[in-house]
């Protein structure tokens, strides 16, 4: 069976994953940041989200080695118009989101604007299949073959393409910020010692490298019953969290005993094993064809170079980046150079707070920028 987005589906009910006191829902000009289709604006992110706030913005595209055309947005200067005096920063969004993740609050509360105003050259990535990265050299999103990929392709193609493009455009090594899925693909790449020649440091918010102890029964139910495959046969390729098919599917899942739909949920097949592995083709024969072994290879977090500067920030209320799983990650980094690893814990923060909380600048972004300035 085609591997669609099947290694990483389903739902980030972002509004339900936020600490109530600190996060506000996003809505601008009638557009909802969670919606899949209304945001496909002809004008693009620059005109609809950045220039409206008085910032200069550039639209860029890069083509991956397997033919997907990705969009990137660049905020080359801050609100003052002063030329940046700090290195480029690439921001990578999480599951089922796009670059608007970093622009959802006001300019003094959104990381992309904050970085630009502090002298960084800001670049926003959009992975394949998202609202602003639907292009391909030969395929259309209406073609099922367009969706025949998993998050492994984000590691192998999308992330390297974005890194290389920013590096080529700026002539500098870059800082990286990932949230949720953006941390997952970064950990996988770094564990294989990819991208390091273009990287200054990485800030990983809600780090996901192990998922064996996720507390949400709903997330486990989704993963263990292969909801991704169910979505494929339903014909749901371009996932719309508020679409009719998904609503019906969630109704069934949420009716099962023990499932609490107020939890933040996702359905990553990695949950089934607890560790990050490459795509599982579903049979020993198929895995042997692709990997020359019966099970998919595991991404080994202990292989991340010990001298790579890392800033890890996680929260006590996060139902996806569980504190116990983060501890497993930290255990795998036990030999990391002490002066190259900063770990921040915020007990009251949930998954969405790291990109949407109104106090995130003080709590997360100021320490993050201080870390970047040392690298």
Whether 351 is catalytic is yes
Instruction: Determine which one of 180, 221, 321, 332 is catalytic.
Output: 180
Reduced 3-state DSSP string for 146-213 = HHCCCHHHHHHHHHHHHHHHHHHHHCCCEEEEEECHHHHHHHHHHHCCCCHHHEEEEEEECCCCECCC
Instruction: Determine which one of 93, 136, 175, 351 is catalytic.
Output: 351
Whether 318 is catalytic is yes
Whether 191 is catalytic is no
Instruction: Determine which one of 230, 318, 322, 353 is catalytic.
Output: 318
- Cβ atoms of 316 and 351 closer than 8 Å: no
Active-site positions read 180, 318, 351
């Amino acid at each position: 069976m085609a591997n669609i987005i099947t290694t990483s589906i389903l739902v980030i009910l972002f509004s339900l994953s936020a600490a109530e006191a600190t996060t506000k829902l996003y809505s601008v000009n009638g557009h909802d940041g969670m919606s899949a289709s209304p945001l496909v604006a002809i004008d693009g992110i620059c005109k609809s989200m950045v220039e409206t706030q008085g910032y200069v913005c550039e639209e860029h595209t890069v083509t991956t080695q397997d033919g997907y055309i990705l969009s990137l947005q660049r905020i080359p200067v801050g609100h003052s118009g002063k030329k940046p005096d700090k290195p480029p920063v690439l921001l990578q969004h999480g599951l089922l989101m796009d670059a608007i993740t970093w622009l959802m609050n006001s300019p003094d509360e959104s990381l992309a604007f904050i970085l630009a105003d502090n002298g960084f050259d800001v670049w926003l990535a959009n992975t394949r299949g998202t609202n602003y990265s639907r292009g391909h050299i030969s395929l259309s999103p209406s073609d099922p073959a367009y969706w025949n990929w998993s998050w492994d392709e984000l590691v192998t193609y999308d992330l390297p393409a974005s890194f290389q493009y920013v590096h080529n455009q700026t002539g500098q090594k870059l800082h990286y910020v990932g949230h949720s899925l953006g941390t997952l693909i970064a950990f996988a790449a770094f564990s294989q010692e990819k991208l390091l020649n273009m990287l200054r440091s990485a800030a990983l918010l809600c780090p996901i490298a192990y998922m064996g102890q996720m507390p949400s029964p709903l997330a486990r139910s989704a993963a263990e019953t292969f909801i991704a495959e169910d979505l494929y046969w339903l014909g749901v390729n371009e996932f719309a969290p508020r679409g009719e098919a998904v609503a019906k599917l969630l109704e069934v899942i949420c009716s099962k005993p023990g499932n609490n739909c107020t939890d933040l949920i996702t359905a990553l097949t990695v949950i089934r094993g607890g560790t990050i592995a490459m795509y599982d083709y579903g049979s020993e024969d198929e895995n042997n064809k692709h990997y020359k072994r019966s099970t998919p290879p595991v991404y080994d977090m202990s292989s991340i170079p010990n001298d790579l500067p890392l800033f890890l920030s996680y929260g006590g209320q996060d139902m996806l980046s569980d504190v116990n799983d983060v501890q497993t990650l930290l255990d795998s980094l036990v030999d990391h150079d002490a002066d190259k690893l900063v770990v921040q814990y915020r007990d009251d923060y949930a998954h969405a707070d790291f990109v949407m909380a109104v106090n995130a600048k003080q709590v997360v972004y100021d320490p993050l920028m201080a870390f970047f300035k040392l690298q």
